[in-house]
Amino acid sequence: MAKTFPTFLFLSVMYIIAGIANSTAATPSNFIKSSCSTTTYPTLCFESLSIYASTIQQDPHQLVQTALSVSLNNTQSTKTFVSKCYKLKGLKATEYAALHDCAEEISDSVDRLRKSLKELKLCKVKGEDFRWHISNVETWVSSALTDETTCGDGFSGNAVNGKIKDSIRAKMVNVAQVTSNALSLINQYGAKY
């Protein structure tokens, strides 16, 4: 009997350790981190989504919906900023043109992201309809990303100088990275389901 007690004790301890390891591995935070690990900007992905861990839990659909919402919110905020810059007095013709083009691109991006979010809500149904809806989401988010990149590219040359250029470029890089991450998560979701 003395020989079985240590074996029983050892197995009990191992069972407890395995249970603790499994309970920490299956957290919403770890689910988000694991999902973000395959995106182009995994650190930004995790930082922007982990604050919604209690909402996301371990639901892939909710993860994608949240990522898309974060992208839309950031893009809308940037659209507001660009609109304010566009109304500044004393702009050179080249600055005005770059801001005008960017305002149009970012506005298109917001529209596409809104459509994507509405379409994503229809993706809960699996099968042919799911494939159709997720394909629409992927297309619109990809187009939104193109719009954001085009806007940012308008500020890469010497047409606009100073703080406006730096501020808009920084905002557009962030928006494009967040949208790129959302697209990556959407593609993963579409491929898996």
Reported as a single tens digit per residue, the pLDDT across 29-79 is: 999 999 999 999 999 999 999 999 999 999 999 999 999 999 999 999 999
pLDDT of residue 21: 47
Q: How far is CA 20 from CA 24, 34, 58, 131, in A?
A: 6, 19, 18, 38
Cβ neighbors of 98 (< 8 A, separation 6 or more) are 154, 155, 159, 160
Structure confidence at residue 104 as a pLDDT band (50, 70, 90): very high
- DSSP string of 8-41, one letter each residue: HHHHHHHHHHHHHHHHHHTSHHHHHHHHHTTSSS
Structure confidence at residue 177 as a pLDDT band (50, 70, 90): very high
The full set of domains in the chain, from first to last, is 28-192 (1.20.140.40)
Token pair in block for residue 136:
């629409």
pLDDT in tens, 106-131: 999 999 999 999 999 887 656 668 88
